[in-house]
Amino acid sequence: MKTTARFGLCTILAFACSSLHASPPAGTTGFRGVITDENGKPIRGAMIAASRDGVLTARFSQVDGHYNLKVPPGTYKVQIKAWGYVTKTLNKTTSLAAVTSVKMTSGLRLDQFDSSDVEQLIPDNADTRLIKAECIRCHGLTQMARGGSMTATTWPVFLQRMTDGRHWDNPYAGGEFKGSGTPPVDYHDRLLRLSDNLEKYFGPDSLYFSRNAEMPKIEQIKHIPPSDAVLASTIHEFDIPTRDVGAHSIMTDSAGNAWFSEIQERGNKIGKFSWTTQTFTEYSLPIANSRPHTGVIGKDGLIWMPLTAPKIHAKLMSLDPRDGKMEVYDFPGNPVHPHTTALDLDGNVWLSGTGLLKFDVHTHQFKQYKLPIPSGNDYPDTSWQNWHNLPGKHLPLDQTIYDVKVDSKGMVWCSIQAIGWIFRVDPKTGEAKAFIPPNTVSIKGVEIDGDDNVWFAEFWGSFIGKLDQKTGQFSEYTPPTPFAMPYGLTADRKTGRIWLADLNGNHITRFDPKTGAFDEFPFPTPQASARFPGIDPKSGRVWFTEALADKIGYVELDPGSK
């Protein structure tokens, strides 16, 4: 079934062109100087970020402490951040000649920590795995670390309020389950166990995260210094016009424009950032709270987006950028909740989710494909699915297909997050085959590179993996940051490099398969919660979203490191 709507643009926000171009125009001023510690020793790798009118530009200090940040003339809020030093904030006006040198004071503060830092300070056991399995979804552990006054009786109240009652209710108040679907048989027991664990590791008596706790020693946390490639880069961030939208996934069209989904109820839009006009445009969706997730751009330029809200079952929508016309298509079969999308060789749209679907863009018909996914309690004890379980109690396997991609031969590849498996489907025959990588706990994003290697993001296992289709061999590559959590992946077909969004370490990270080198580009915003990145194949700009910060941005590489 197809429904059609034509909607006006919800919001347009324009910026001065000169403030956003990757290469600042002639006459650009900025800030330069030296970053040192209290003893005058230069600090390598400090981030200097200048923001004004919703636009942020960040550079890094070099090995001698010098930095040079070029921005258009004006007055900016300038923040200088370096691991192990107290952040400094200045209000500065640009100048062609002025030197802004800054002396930093040593010291650790909790607001400097990212989720990977927090995870290094807690043990790895069944209790903390339950916390991570339930809580590291939309955000990392820093949110729990900052709730040091909360007890086992107050955590359920917070969890209910945080999820608007969709997932948890408060058993201490005699509440009933208000989430979607049927509550698990051990629902109340799991919530009580989770709340007890949150108090133990993040509550009033916790070692590092209580209100009166002393900061750990800096040597207790392995914090990776930026690589030379990072020091030569520039990070750009832009505030989305609407607030609290949950910017989720991003992609670019043939003109270099960035398109992104706004998944939260207050967003419920598809956003566009125009590279040439330097404007944001937001398109309101025709169905309330439809939760647009991860889209794809068709061969004809149409924007295809899955609508993932549980109550609206398997809807796929298209947006025509030329006139704003939207069409919504309903899957007529059993209830299926879509998730991400991919384009096949014929321009048809594939959808992951609680079922694997193909949408024919010419006939507007859906077809469902079956996968031999285990059912019931038949899953590995080492899987993320098992992290949710209480001793002796097993939840039924979550069979959701997390991500989907199509290789150059038309084969469809998809991931099962709960158990860390990937499947290959032949669309012509419907034959499906499971591939089980070693050491996987869970898999989120998948990607196909220019040689048809299948890459996957091992989220809770903290590595990215590769399946070589020619040899059938698996390889693993672990980012330098401990407990990095690769979420979505995108491949640079020109260079062969793989980019990943690291939710836990708060990076957009580049991996070079030829050298085995990782470059971790930090987000200027703490706990940005990046999801599915995108790359502009023409310019090489790598775009990211910041789901918890209502920002999008891109990495500008030094020409020598592209």
Query: Can you give the pTM of this predicted structure?
Result: 0.92
Residues of the chain with CATH 2.130.10.10: 292-530
Measure the CA–CA gap between 69 and 76, rounded to whole angstroms. Answer: 12
Could you give the C-alpha distances from 442 to 141, 264, 357, 372, in angstroms and in order? 18, 25, 22, 17
Measure the CA–CA gap between 337 and 522, rounded to whole angstroms. Answer: 33
The total of other beta-carbon atoms located within 10 Å of residue 69's CB is: 22
Measure the CA–CA gap between 459 and 442, rounded to whole angstroms. Answer: 6
pLDDT at position 146, please?
Answer: 81
| Cα 8 to the center of its chain, rounded Å | 29
| Cα 552 to the center of its chain, rounded Å | 11
Residue type, 394: H
Residue type, 92: K
Torsion angle, alpha carbons of 80, 82, 85, 89, to 10: 10
pLDDT at position 164, please?
Answer: 58
Query: Mind listing the pLDDT tens digit of every residue in the chain (562 residues)?
Result: 565 554 444 444 433 333 333 444 444 689 999 999 999 999 999 999 999 999 999 999 999 999 999 999 999 999 999 999 999 999 999 986 778 899 999 999 888 899 999 999 999 999 999 999 988 988 899 988 887 778 999 888 787 777 654 554 433 333 444 444 444 556 678 888 999 999 999 999 999 999 888 899 999 999 999 999 999 999 999 999 999 999 999 999 999 999 999 999 889 999 999 999 889 999 999 999 999 999 999 999 999 999 998 777 779 999 999 999 999 999 887 778 899 999 999 999 999 999 999 999 999 999 999 999 998 888 888 899 999 888 888 888 999 999 999 999 999 999 999 999 999 999 999 999 999 999 999 999 999 999 999 999 999 999 999 999 999 999 999 999 999 999 999 999 999 999 999 999 999 999 999 999 999 999 999 989 999 999 999 999 999 999 999 999 999 998 766 6
Q: Tokens 């079952």 map to which residue? A: 313
pLDDT at position 333, please?
Answer: 74
Residues of the chain with CATH 2.60.40.1120: 2-109
In contact, 273 and 257? CB cutoff 8 Å: yes
Q: Tokens 């941005």 map to which residue? A: 553
Please write the tens of the pLDDT for every residue from 28-41: 689 999 999 999 99
pLDDT at position 492, please?
Answer: 97
Measure the CA–CA gap between 175 and 244, rounded to whole angstroms. Answer: 28
**Residues β-bridged to residue 261:** 270
Measure the CA–CA gap between 306 and 513, rounded to whole angstroms. Answer: 32
pLDDT at position 188, please?
Answer: 77
CATH superfamily of 2-109: Carboxypeptidase-like, regulatory domain (2.60.40.1120)
Measure the CA–CA gap between 196 and 150, rounded to whole angstroms. Answer: 10
The CATH architecture to which 292-530 belongs is: 7 Propeller (2.130)
Residue type, 165: G
pLDDT at position 90, please?
Answer: 94
Please write the tens of the pLDDT for every residue from 315-342: 999 999 999 999 999 988 777 889 999 9
Q: Which of 124, 198, 190, 129 is nearest to 158 (CA)?
A: 198
